[in-house]
Each structure stands twice: as structure tokens, then as C-alpha cells.
Amino acid sequence: MSEQGLAPRRAAAKLIDGVTIDHRLMSELLPGPLANMPVQERARAQRLATETLRHLERCDRMLGPFLRNKPDDKAMTILRLGTYEICSGGAAHGIVNDCVALIKQDEYLARLSGLVNAVLRKVDGNQQKWDELPPSRLPKWLRKVLVADYGRRTMEAIEAVHAQIPPLDLTARNDPAALAELLEGTVLPNGSVRLPGQGQVTALPGYQHGTWWVQDVAASIPANVLAAQPGERVLDMCAAPGGKTMQLAASGAAVTALDLSEKRMARVSENLARTGLHAELVVADALEFESDAFDAILLDAPCSATGTIRRHPDLPHAKDGGDFPQLFALQEAMFDQAWALLKPGGRLVYCTCSLLIDEGEEQIRDAKQRYPDLEIDTESLKVPGVEVDWIGPEGLRLRPDYWADRGGMDGFFIACLRKSA
């Protein structure tokens, strides 16, 4: 047993328990078990937890034949963690020893140490079955809804992308081609630069000089659709962490970034300073925000974030959909507030990083009923990188299985709306 290997596995198990047992998002749990750990161990623990959650159902299918009855939840976590590591090429002897050591550290679960040892050794003897298993499916509470919206075949294609470690997308401050050459990346059709791995972001060339920022390709498209112009007054509602704010500021527009979270807005401020861009930052409740009318507004509304599961595989295991009705109502209220702050003749881009139709197309259908002066502008959605068949009557639907051969993208819905003059 090596404490060097045991510590990250112990921390990873605690993170997995926090998600699957306590139903908390990974972001809520951090730094938690990772506090005071060396950087490398911290990164390893988080990666182990994230990838075990990414392949959770696959782990369970692998373990199924070797378990007569499902053990205690915490014991199941250790078995899943060990299974993922063994089946992803880890040295089985050390993994099994550490998993047995972990179970023995819990006075109540120590009695299951023999089970953990025996089961993981059987997993090690049957590794070839791992590659034969299909990608993990989303939990039933979410999968049922999405299958109803998109069909079973599309859902399977989305889950296949979810099973992959996502690439890293960057938005260049000026020259995407030069950035791609510097970092040995690829320029995507929309102008984002894609890197194949997930290394330490702050150590990459150009970070300290603010020549780029991290932003998934799908998340970069709403600001491109808004197409802010120099001199326009533009509002970025729900602005944190600031990727879209920086895109808007780079256009030369007079940008106001609005968000409720003081902590998250501090990060926006840091990112603006690093990139040499400027925006007025306002920490306030968007529903109570008062201002003169804006020429253009970008509303990235609070949502289920189901479009980001490829990067946050903890989400479907921490949530159960119980907060969806409140989110739908909040989105409607936010839309109404944005519409009231928009000048006649102005444009509003409404978007959500969600796969749920209720958070996208349905919100626009309802808004069209409420506002006779609302015009849906689908022509403005035809920005570089967007394929015509992704655009529907209400707006642009992006899915993880789009550009699957390049690594996919987050799920998003984006609509461009114009207010009659």
C-alpha cells in the first residue's frame, strides 16, 4: 500500500460519495476532500472522481455478475472507483490493495474488505468485457425526458460523446490561427481553438498575457449571434464567469455585465484584467435591475445545465429534476425583464446550456404569445460554424453529438429576437 496512491483514491471516493449519496454537485464539494493536497494529487483525485462518474453505469454493468447483492453505497463507490481504474489500464495489484485499505478505514464497512478484494480481482480477470460494454446511459429521470424530445438513436449518440473526455476549447483575443499554431491546436469552423487534452490551463502559453480564455465552442456562439457593434450599449445578463462578456467587450461595445454572485463576478473582473478588456460590472439581482434601455442584450438564463454533462458528469447523479419547474418559471421572468430593458428596434439573444426543449424552444413559443412586438430572427443565427439544419423555427439547437468526430460540443439553445421599432 502506498500513501501516495491511497490519498488521491480516498479523496476521489469522498467526492463520488458527495455526488451519488449526498446529491451535491462536484463544484459544491470542492475543495473539500482535496484541501491541503499537493497539486498533482489534487488533480489526480478530481480526475478519478470525474471519470468514475462518467462511466458509472458501465462500472455497475461490469460489477453486476460478481455481486449477488448490491453492498452499502460507500462500498459500492470503492468498487466503482477500483473498476474504472483497472479497466482503464491501471496497475491492478496496487489498485486492489488501496481499495481494500480504504474499506478497512471505515469501521462499519471493514467487514466487506474480503468482498472488495475478491470482486476487484475478478474484474481484473475480465477486463476484455469493459470494451464490449456500451457507453453509460444517463439516469432514467433525465434519459426518459430526452428520449421523448430527441428519440432513442439521438440519445445514444449523445451518450457516446458523454463517454469521451472532452477536449479543451479556447476563444482567442485576436488571431485564432496564431493561437492554434502556438498551442498545437485546431481552429474549428466557428473560430474557436480546440486542444486535445485537459492539462493545467494556467500553465499554457498566452494565459498570463490574456491572449485567450477557456470557452466551449457552443458557449461562444451566442455572443457571435448577438454581433455587438462598437458604440452600442450591451447588457450581458447572468454574466459570470465572463466568457461572453469578454467576447462582447472585444467588439468595442459599451458592455454592462450583470450577475447576482459577488464571488463569481470577482472572477469576471480578474478575467477582464488579464485580457485587457473593459466592461462595467454590476452585482445585483437581474429581476430588480434598473437601467436605461439597451441596444442589445445577451441573456444566458439560469438552467438545468444538462447540455454540459460531457464536462460535468456529476450533474445527472447529483440532481433529480425536482427543481425544473422553478427554473422554467425563473427563465420566463428573466426573459420578461430582459425584454423590458431592450430598446425598440433592439435585439435579444436568449440562450441556455440545456438539452431540454422546455428551457429553449418552448420558452420562445411562450414569449411570442406574450409579446406581439417580438420577431424571431433566424437569419442572424447563420454565423460561422453553424450548420443550417441545426436551426429551427424558434432558434438554434446545439447538441453534444454535433461534430462528434471532432470531440462534440456542449448542448445549447440560442434564439435571436428583435423588438419592433
> Which residues are CB-neighbours of 400 under 8 A, at least 6 positions away?
158, 161, 162, 307, 309, 310, 355, 408, 409, 410, 411
- At residue 373, does pLDDT exceed 80? yes
Concerning whether 353 is annotated as a catalytic residue, the answer is: yes
- CATH 1.10.940.10 domain extents, the chain: 3-132
Across 51-79, average pLDDT: 96
Q: Supply 379's cell numbers.
A: 437569419
- Per CATH, the homologous superfamily of domain 217-419 is Vaccinia Virus protein VP39 (3.40.50.150)
pLDDT tens digits, residue range 385-409?
999 999 999 999 999 999 999 999 9
pLDDT of residue 392: 98
CB 45, CB 34: distance < 8 Å? yes
The CATH number given to 3-132 is 1.10.940.10
pLDDT tens digits, residue range 102-144?
999 999 999 999 999 999 999 999 999 999 999 999 999 999 9
Q: Per-residue confidence at 247, pLDDT binned at 50, 70, 90?
A: very high
pLDDT of residue 1: 43
pLDDT of residue 200: 84
Question: Minimal CA–CA distance to 29: which of 47, 11, 44, 41?
Answer: 11
Q: Supply 29's cell numbers.
A: 464539494
pLDDT tens digits, residue range 277-303?
999 999 999 999 999 999 999 999 999
* CB atoms closer than 10 angstroms to residue 285: 10
**Distance separating alpha carbons of residues 374 and 394, to the nearest angstrom:** 12
Q: Supply 68's cell numbers.
A: 449477488
pLDDT tens digits, residue range 303-324?
999 999 999 999 999 999 999 9
Name the amino acid, one letter, at 297.
I
Of 87, 99, 351, 353, which is the active-site residue? 353
- CATH 3.40.50.150 domain extents, the chain: 217-419
pLDDT tens digits, residue range 136-150?
999 999 999 999 999
pLDDT of residue 197: 75
- At residue 199, does pLDDT exceed 80? no
H/E element holding 118?
A: helix 113-124
pLDDT tens digits, residue range 16-50?
999 999 999 999 999 999 999 999 999 999 999 99
